[in-house]
Amino acid sequence: MAVADPLHVAMRMANKLAHDLPRNLDIAILRHAVRQLVTATASPAAVPIRKRRRRVVRAGYWAERKRAQRARARAAKAATEATG
Where helices occur in 2-51 by DSSP H, the ranges are 6-20, 25-41
Query: Is the pTM here over 0.95, yes or no?
Result: no
**What is the reported pLDDT for 1?**
35
**What is the reported pLDDT for 64?**
96
Phi (first) and psi of residue 4, to 5 degrees:
-80, 160
Alpha-carbon span 26 to 41, nearest angstrom: 23
3-state secondary structure of 42: coil
Low-confidence ranges of the chain (pLDDT < 50): 1-3
